[in-house]
């Protein structure tokens, strides 16, 4: 992970990451069209979209840095500051709030000792609010990293987080779905 102090150093990716970006570029009719997946590869490598990532992507795709920054600030999936080991999104749309979304967020703020938009002192969790995570019929729900967890109670969420903190990945049937594995 890149620290804020390192964020202005030129970005260096591994040969595998560079190969992935080359493969991405080959799938799109223009370099500009590859901006989103290229940002994903870079964020995966660094942990957030640092100024060095913006500079790299703009140079690699032949875009102005302001255009890349505009993409980063438009989409919530890109982290604009360093985040914890796990990113926990609480859905706060009306459906989730009516079924306990606000209570879930308050519970998490108390458990983690930080507010939405902040990272825990130990760097393990970043808590964020989402306007909608598209699981209205299964509220309240959260997204942890790239998995969705539905029909939660504070107790179920605590048990889930305890397992994740121990390094245990819940079985797929224990999660609602994983976006990159959905059909």
Residue 50 is encoded by which pair of tokens? 């640092």
pLDDT in tens, 50-65: 999 999 999 999 999 9
pLDDT at 183: 42
Mean pLDDT of 113-137: 92
Q: CA 154 to CA 138: how far, in whole Å?
A: 15
What are the chain's domains?
4-74 (1.10.10), 86-181 (3.40.30.10)
Q: Which of 61-65, 103-107, 135-139 has the lowest mean pLDDT?
A: 135-139
Question: What global pTM score does this model have?
Answer: 0.79
Return the bridge partners of 118, or none.
Answer: 127
Contact by Cβ (8 Å): 119, 82 = yes
Residue 2 has pLDDT above 50, yes or no: no
């Amino acid at each position: 992970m890149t620290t804020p102090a390192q964020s202005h150093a030129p970005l260096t990716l591994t040969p595998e990451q560079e190969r992935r970006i080359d493969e991405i570029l080959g799938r799109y009719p223009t370099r500009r069209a590859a901006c989103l997946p290229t940002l994903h590869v870079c964020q995966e490598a660094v942990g957030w979209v640092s100024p060095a990532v913006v500079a790299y992507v703009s140079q690699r795709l032949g875009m102005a840095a302001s255009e890349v920054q505009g993409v980063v600030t438009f989409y919530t999936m890109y982290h604009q500051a360093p985040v914890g080991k796990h990113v926990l999104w609480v859905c706060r749309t009306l459906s989730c709030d009516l079924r306990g979304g606000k209570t879930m967020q308050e519970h998490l703020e108390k458990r983690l000792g930080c507010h939405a938009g902040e990272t825990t002192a130990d760097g393990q969790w970043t808590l964020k609010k989402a306007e909608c995570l598209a699981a209205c019929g299964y509220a309240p729900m959260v997204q942890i990293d790239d998995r969705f967890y539905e029909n939660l109670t504070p107790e179920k969420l605590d048990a889930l987080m305890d397992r994740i903190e121990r390094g245990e990945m819940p079985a797929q049937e224990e999660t609602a779905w994983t976006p990159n594995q959905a059909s």
